[in-house]
Amino acid sequence: MLRSLQVRTYLKISVGVALATIALKTGAWWVSGSVSLLSDAMESLVNLAGAVFALAMVTVAARPADEDHPYGHHKAEYFSSGFEGVLIFAAAVAIIWTAVARILNPQPLQDLNLGLLLSVLSSILNGALAWAMSRKAKEARSVALDADARHLFTDVATSAGVLVGLLAVKATGWGWLDPVIAIAVALNIMREGGRLIAGSANGLMDHALEASAQADIERVLTEFGHQTIRFDHIVTRRAGQRRFVDLHMHMPAGWTLGRAAALRASVEQALMSAVPGLRATIQLLPLDVEAHFADSRDLL
């Protein structure tokens, strides 16, 4: 719950910063008339929409399990990165459309110095927030926060490219560079949008835990295993911030139910302490009993 609250706090800050950068970048475009600065401002609009949607999805993901969602709502975060990727594609198309129109109808740039200054200020805001969000995303294992941070880093890189390009325009007087830079910006953010959409679709699949988490699970089971205790059919998966492991624990058939349940509880607690966010489910079986998963009807 605390991690979810922290993630939502960062996303609320992201909304505020997005509003500030939209104002700065729109001002930069307004005073300069640069279509590449306009493209930069349009990407910030995507930042705002993405942060708002991410905040909504993180709020949904934090809901407790219910009758219709017994494993919780954690995968809702993956919709956030997918939605942001779609928005990026839409923004890229709009940027290219505007840039082509400027190529066909060239216009001189106005107060470029002030426009560049406003753009630099917005990049500083975005860069500081992206760095902080990236660190928190790793700590909280938040897909939505990580997607928002990645997009902000892309925005900073985009602004840097626009800055360099406009300095070249100023030095050479080649006005056609401005819309060409805008098209390059669009293609760059379109690539990032594709990555976000692919990551979102990939996250909705049931993937095993990362190698480090699986190693921690194996270490715990090794500590509890001995001649009369063994573990098998270990299956892991992840959903947003939540992680799951299912396994079988075999023990002597003569043990009382109370003794077996007490040992299972100890193993479950050790597993959940070793891997943050883990939920362990252990099925008890006698040593001479095996579970069967090779029934052909399971493949239907």
pLDDT digits (tens, 9 = 90+) for 173-202: 777 888 888 788 778 778 877 877 777 777
Portion of the chain with pLDDT greater than 70, in percent: 92
Q: Binning pLDDT at 50, 70 and 90, where does residue 289 land?
A: confident
User: What tokens were used for 180?
Assistant: 């060409």
User: What tokens were used for 104?
Assistant: 């066909």
CA distance 38 to 109: 12
Spatial contact of 173 and 79, defined as CB atoms under 8 Å apart: no
pLDDT value at position 3? 59
Which pTM does this prediction carry?
Answer: 0.60
pLDDT value at position 292? 62
**Mean pLDDT calculated for residue range 219-238:** 87
CA angle centred on 12, ends 10 and 14, rounded to 5°: 70
pLDDT value at position 299? 44
Go through the domains of the chain in sequence order and give each one's CATH number: 2-203 (1.20.1510.10), 211-299 (3.30.70.1350)
List C-alpha distances in Å: 274 to 40, 209, 220, 234, 278: 44, 13, 8, 16, 9
Tokens 């295993």 belong to which residue?
Answer: 225
pLDDT digits (tens, 9 = 90+) for 247-288: 999 999 889 989 999 999 999 999 989 988 788 889 999 987
Q: Which long-range contacts (CB under 8 A, 24 or more apart) does 289-292 make?
A: 289/250, 289/253, 291/233, 291/248
User: What tokens were used for 89?
Assistant: 């594609």
Rg of the Cα atoms in the chain: 26
CA distance 189 to 162: 13
The residue type at 217: I
pLDDT value at position 196? 73
**Mean pLDDT calculated for residue range 57-77:** 75
Q: Residue 34: pLDDT above 50?
A: yes
